[in-house]
Amino acid sequence: MRMPFWASALAAALIAAAPQGEIATSAGGSISYSADGSKTRLQIRTAGGKHYDVRVERDSTVAPDAPPTKIQLVGEIAGKALILADTYDSAPLGMQYCQAGQEEFLRVITFAGDTASETLHMKLGSCRNNVELADPAWSWNSKTRTLQIHWLEGPDDPGSAEERTIRIGAGGKPE
């Protein structure tokens, strides 16, 4: 039996809009994520039942429409902010360069009343830009709301190790 065109178009749209993955937050909420054109859509549900929909930018090192391959919860300030690391396959270049590489971003999503917004966006790792995280890549201290990032090859000084400390204020925004 053939499905009418409008029904098959609706089914395709629903599949395309469906979340690609979901992770739990430490405070009891969840984050669903999917590709939304050249952006990533984060659907956040807090433990208190609030829902937020945030679309975040990637850069040209990520292919348009590429879904995240992984999202990690780096840290959380309950009811104030989430610190996320999202990873994507690198956009391919000629001569097999970065065909299996990855691009990784750090984001702070801050909650203010009924809205959520990205208050920090930083490149963590990149095959295309030769930025490489150390192991361990970061450490989060929830008591001081401090994130330390460690690179083998940092974004500011190519070819050199780099460290950066980011403090999240009481209101959930990076200081």
DSSP 3: P
- The pLDDT of residue 8 is 40
Contacts of 166 (CB under 8 A, 6+ apart): 108, 120, 146, 147, 149, 174
Q: Which pLDDT tens digit goes with each residue over 108-130?
A: 999 998 999 999 999 999 988 88
- The pLDDT of residue 128 is 86
Residue 95's Cβ-count burial label (10 Å; 0-12, 13-18, 19+) is exposed
Would you mind telling me the total number of residues written for the chain in this entry?
175
Q: Tell me the whole-structure pTM to 2 decimals.
A: 0.84
C-alpha 62/C-alpha 39 separation (Å) is 10
Domain ranges of the chain: 5-167
C-alpha 85/C-alpha 72 separation (Å) is 5
